[in-house]
Amino acid sequence: MRYQYIPYIWLLIASSVITLSLGLYVFAKCRNAKGAVNFILCMIILTLWSSSNTLEMSGADLPTKLFWANMQYFSYCYLPVALIGLSMEFTGFDRWVKNKKVLWLAVLPTVIIVLVWTDGLQGLIRTNIHLNYNGLFPVIAKDYGPVFYIHALYSHALNLIACVLLIKATFFKNSIYKKQTLSLLLGLSLIIFPNILYVSGLNPGFDITPVCFGPAGIIVTWGIFRFGLFYVIPVAWATVVRNMDAGVIVLDTQDTVLDINPAFEKIIGRTASAVSAKFVSEACADIPALIQVCTGRTSAHTEFAVGAKVYEAFLSPITDKKGSFIGKTAVVYEITEKKRRQQEMLQQQWQLAVNEERERTARDLHDNLGQILGFINLQAQGIRQELKNAGIETVSDRLDKLVDVTQSAHAELRAYIRGIRDPEYMEIDFIKALKKDTSDFYVQTGLHINLDIPYGFTGGEIEPHVRIHILSIIKEALNNIAKHAEAKNVSISLSLTPEQLYVAVEDDGKGFDLALSRSTEKARFGLTIMRERAAEIGAKLNIESKKGKGSRITLSVPAEHVAEKNETDAG
């Protein structure tokens, strides 16, 4: 190979130095950042192009120039593939790069390279190759073969797609990479358009594209240092966020995962590299509640469980200085211990409320009904003794029965007061209390109650004082069924939605006329107590009944009285 010195090569050498330096810098400083690998690959290809063009221009004979011209075809063919891969990483199509589908674009360029190096046998790329001495220095002159035009159209189609992606991301879409894509677009333009001029024959006779690598590299360097091309996520992420106990995920506007910290990796059981560039619905496929909150665009909060651990997630949108939505981040905290303590506190509140209710009931019964029964008992015994002394036996026998009934009622009342003040009874939770009432109903009437309780529902979600009123309303409804309904089937159903707790008590008994019941003092008294209890907790009580068609009592309790919903079952 023979070479000669020409001043033009210094421009090419400068381009080579700039592109090589950029590639080495990114490799040393941020090779693991988003887009860094494709950028380094582009710099290597550009360095090969400009250095091979330097040796071609300084070649003194046709074989030397032809060899280095063939070497440049590696850059001609593979640079568009690397550029479109780099553009995809910053415009929302990075999953194509992650799953390596973009490599299929390199099949045709590989075929072209093989044809270039065997061109002397078939002439499909170039024909009539010779040196042209009409310029400042000799250059290769040739005629293009049919396959060359296929190569040119394919390469520039890829370049055009890359430009369209960057233009769309820069001017027509809110993105956290807006300024970064602008610097890439400007640098790419300085590579594509001079090459189009060369292929179309509008340039001075030789390819000036490699000379433009220097200015293109300077523009991209400006993008690196001015806008943090490879530091979209700040450096503080590595020192603060990655050491946080809370899990953090960063998403773009298309719900694609940009990054997660180690704590979030543990929550979802997958590494950052495995979920990067994937949709959040795929990355968190096993946690529907987390997907739901992460796919929103406004601040949101949810709770979910993974195994035995409970978490809460907070979503926050990311906006630019103009307030435009450009991404979002979710922070996930483990609250297992908090939930345990919360349940303990609710249980304590429940026990306190039950205690207060039962103490009040026992006191009222003792002070009122108990004393009345005691007074009747004493008076009846006194009258009976006086009648016996007077020899009136007939009335005395009837008073004996009255005394017996009064004593029995008094004994039952005292036993009931002792029972409701029993600490063991106060310890039972909502579901246990409900089941005890249904069991007592069965013993009293022989009717088994069909109890429908949602899976996982414990009643611990309901505020303690609300539980007491609900149980009292249900018990009153069962008492009415036992005394008046003559039913064969009874059912109690509960359901919990984000809006309300819904309770229904139904029977297939003889029913009653609602209008007539309002005029009956005894019936009105029982229904009034139920309505008063419902009003105390802000609930809505509805009674439906028709003669011969049974009765249905429904209670709708607002969600504000349900302290913690069953969101922990979502995971």
Beta carbons within 10 angstroms of residue 275's beta carbon? 22
The answer to whether 562 touches 454, Cβ cutoff 8 Å, is no
Residue 252 backbone phi and psi in degrees, to 5: -95, -170
Q: What angle do CA 414, 417, 419 make, to 5 degrees?
A: 110
* Terminal Cα distance for the chain, rounded: 70
What own/partner pairs with CB < 8 Å and gap ≥ 24 does 127-134 have?
129/62, 129/66, 130/62, 131/61, 131/62, 131/65, 132/205, 134/205
Alpha-carbon distance of 555 to 534, in angstroms, equals: 8
Are the CB atoms for 451 and 492 separated by under 8 Å?
Answer: yes
CA-closest candidate to residue 536, choices 474, 465, 475? 465
Predicted local distance difference test score (pLDDT) of residue 297: 80
Q: Dihedrals φ, ψ of 33, to 5°?
A: -75, 165
- Predicted local distance difference test score (pLDDT) of residue 109: 92
Q: What is the pLDDT tens value at each position of the chain, 571 positions in all? A: 787 888 878 888 888 888 888 888 878 876 766 677 888 888 899 899 889 888 888 888 888 988 988 898 898 899 889 888 887 876 767 667 767 778 888 899 999 999 988 887 777 888 888 887 776 777 888 888 888 889 889 988 988 888 888 787 667 655 555 666 677 777 777 777 777 776 666 655 566 677 777 777 777 767 666 655 555 444 445 556 677 888 898 888 778 887 888 889 899 988 887 887 788 888 898 898 899 888 888 888 888 888 888 999 999 888 766 677 778 889 999 998 888 888 888 777 777 777 777 666 666 555 556 556 666 666 667 776 777 777 666 555 656 666 666 666 666 556 555 555 555 444 457 888 888 888 888 887 888 999 999 887 877 777 777 887 898 899 888 888 888 888 999 999 998 888 888 999 999 998 887 766 555 555 556 777 888 888 888 899 998 988 888 999 999 998 876 654 444 343 3
If residue 251 lies in a helix (H) or strand (E), which one and from where to where?
Answer: strand 247-251
pLDDT of residue 338: 86
Name which of 73, 70, 335, 320 is nearest 173 in CA terms: 320
User: What is the full DSSP assignment across 380-443?
Assistant: HHHHHHHHHHHT-HHHHHHHHHHHHHHHHHHHHHHHHHHHHT-HHHHH--HHHHHHHHHHHHHH
Domains of the chain by start residue, with CATH: 9-227 (1.20.1070), 236-334 (3.30.450.20), 338-427 (no CATH), 430-571 (3.30.565.10)
What residues have CB less than 8 Å from 174, skipping those under 6 apart? 253, 320, 324, 325, 326
pTM for this model (two decimals): 0.46
* Nearest-angstrom CA–CA distance, 158 and 107: 13
The per-residue b/e assignment along 290-328, b for 16 or more CB within 10 angstroms, e otherwise, is: bbbbbbeeeebebbbbbeebbbbbebebeeeeeeeebbb
CB-based contact 555:541 (threshold 8 Å): yes
Look-up: residue for tokens 């490599």? 103
Residues in the chain: 571
pLDDT value, residue 568: 39
Beta strands in 297-369 (DSSP E): 300-306, 309-319, 325-334
